[in-house]
Amino acid sequence: MGCLVLLLAVAVPRFVMVVLWLFSNYLSRAYGTWIWPLIGFFVLPTTTLAYALARNSFGGLKGGGVVLVAIGLIVDFGLIGGGRGLAKRVHS
């Protein structure tokens, strides 16, 4: 069950980015180029989506936009580092 949750947590932001790229200009309005969303797709997808939402809905990185991007970073770093800590606890 834990592997399914981890798989969904990793796949869902990337799926959302692909859908946004195919059916809207939401990411291009936020970034103005294709390179940053592409890098974000592989490195920090939740933060990339949070920045796009902050830029399009909150007018950029002020107030609620900063909070949203910070939450995106926390989620991304939690997903990246959470598996290693769990593996150490299980094998110890």
Q: Residue with structure tokens 């007018």?
A: 59
Q: What is the DSSP letter of 8?
A: H
Residue-level pLDDT, tens digit, the chain, 92 residues: 668 887 888 899 999 999 999 999 999 999 988 999 999 999 999 999 999 999 998 888 888 899 999 999 998 888 666 655 555 655 55
Count Cα atoms within 13 angstroms, Cβ side, for 46. Answer: 18
